[in-house]
Amino acid sequence: MTLRIYATSHSITPFTESTLAGDFIQNISRVYNENKIDIRLYMPKYGFISDRKYILREVIRLKEIPVFYKNDDIIPSVKSAFIPETRVQVYFLVYPEFYKKIPKNLADTAAVTQYESWDTCTVLFNHTSILTLEHLYWQPDIMLCINAESALTPFLLNAKYGNKDWYKPTKPVLILSNDSEFKAFSPDILKDYDIPESDDDLTDSLGLLKSAIRHSKGVIVLNNGNESKIQTLLEDKSVKKLLEQKREQYLNHSIQNPDENTWNETSKQIYHFLETI
């Protein structure tokens, strides 16, 4: 059976500037799509992403996606487009009040995480990445949750949405790229979004990472050979223990000087890994 794959990321090339995760998603999605593997992507609609340039279209079923926030609902929407020169479908979370001022260079982690609404944006993104599936009437087999910006999703799938039959077939897989720092959330933001209590401290980077690993069916680390921004967290004894427990469900994958052949081979290896989850 061919897997249905859903990838959620704050960075996807060419909509954002090149990052390891963004290039990874762009390229493996193209390969999968060409091989008739159903893969769909989800990312925020930042203010610097042009509706006209990328031909973003409204999706009737996705015009209103209510999310609990501060004792009320906020109602973002989702638009659809394709990665240029492909038929890879990308869904964009649209909520300008939160996203329009985020700086264009997402690789500048300091600038992005210092943005006053980063926490709010990120938790909203995690919620809607899940809720969009129900509005789409689509059940992926695998949900790729990429870096800190999607690290809350595995916990939410289990602790908040796990009692809904719609989400039960979907297995979260955490992907960490070594060029992206790992940041957690403020207690107030978690309260504002009515996030369930966790055994792990979601307000601490180490706690959030442990939660993401614990609630994921598999973990993939992407390594481009440069200095790692997450190595200290990965070397923590408690994290090492969790990764050791994953055994065959943990993959440390090197991507250096990638070309078309490299991406083709990477896509095959990742797909084989996902089949074993």
pTM, 2 dp: 0.94
Residue 105 — pLDDT band, cuts 50, 70, 90? low
Structural domains in the chain? 5-275 (3.40.50.2000)
**Alpha carbon 165 to chain centroid, angstroms:** 22
Nearest to 204 by CA among 177, 239, 172, 228: 239
- b/e code 12-39 from CB counts within 10 Å (16+ = b): bbebbeebbbbbbbbbbbbbbbeeebeb
The token pair at 209 is: 């990472």
- ∠ CA 268-269-270 to the nearest 5 degrees? 95
Residue 108 — pLDDT band, cuts 50, 70, 90? low
Q: Up-side HSE of residue 152: CA atoms within 13 Å toward CB? A: 30
**Residues 121-150 pLDDT 10s:** 899 999 999 999 999 999 999 999 999 999
**Residues 35-50 pLDDT 10s:** 999 999 999 999 889 9
* DSSP code string of 9-23: -S--TTTS---HHHH
The pLDDT of residue 178 is above 80: yes
Confidence (pLDDT) at 117: 72
Q: How far is Cα 30 from Cα 17, in angstroms, rounded to an integer?
A: 18
Residue 107 — pLDDT band, cuts 50, 70, 90? low
Which residues touch 250 (CB under 8 Å, ≥6 apart)?
218, 219, 220, 243, 244
Report whether 178 contacts 192 (CB < 8 A). Answer: no
